[in-house]
Amino acid sequence: MRQWQSILWLSLLFFAASCVGEKGRVLPLSEIEEGDLAFRCGRGVFSRIVTSAEEEGVYSHVGVVVRDEGKWKVAHAVPAEPEYKGDFDRVKLEDIEVFFAPDRAWSGCLVRPGVSDPERMCAEAIRAARDSVAFDGGYDLADSSKVYCTEFVWRLYLHDGKDLSEGRRRYIRVLGVSGDVILPEHLLKYKGIEPYFKF
């Protein structure tokens, strides 16, 4: 039992060390473009599971940046972040400052894969949020009626003619879920993209 506890504490310390960013963060709002991707390393248990499944274990979540009602927002499929009593896991649309808020992100970055039709892509992302497309807790890429975060972004870009995952998948088996999934680092490794902002 003590060995298990030691392993758990060491894992948690490693996670914290790998995700800690600066306390202060000023987003480069004038540099952002529609279709940019927002990656973050979250603070919850689910984030620890995701980063432990990755080779580099840097980011646990991703969404696409859109312009809506004159503000920069992030459309993303997220579990366990209800906005009201009775809310369910779904695609959400929230201000970029909320997405990167200190209580939700240890660290984060913005990248620009480039999109040929940002207006169409962002309209599709906003529509998914307004339609409350359900979060896919089964992480099943074959079922497009529900999506998980990386699947949501991957599908948006696939409709634009880019496979951001470039076929990368990782087999996971945890908490009753098993199968090949797309992880945040699979999208971040897309050819030629580099973060233009990090904290």
> What string of pLDDT tens digits covers the 199 residues of the chain?
444 343 333 343 344 434 444 445 899 999 999 999 999 998 776 667 787 777 777 899 999 999 999 999 999 999 999 999 999 999 999 999 999 999 999 999 999 999 999 999 999 999 999 999 999 999 999 999 999 999 999 999 999 999 999 999 999 888 778 899 999 999 999 998 999 999 9
- Name the packing angle between helices 2-19 and 45-53 (round to 10°): 90
CA–CA dist 142, 97 (Å, integer): 33
Domain boundaries, given as residue ranges, for the chain:
31-198
Other beta carbons within 10 angstroms of residue 151's beta carbon come to: 22
CA–CA dist 152, 106 (Å, integer): 22
Query: Which architecture characterizes domain 31-198 according to CATH?
Result: Alpha-Beta Complex (3.90)
Residue owning tokens 């090949």? 180
Measured in degrees and rounded to the nearest 5, phi and psi for residue 163 equal -95, 90
- The pTM assigned to this predicted structure is 0.85
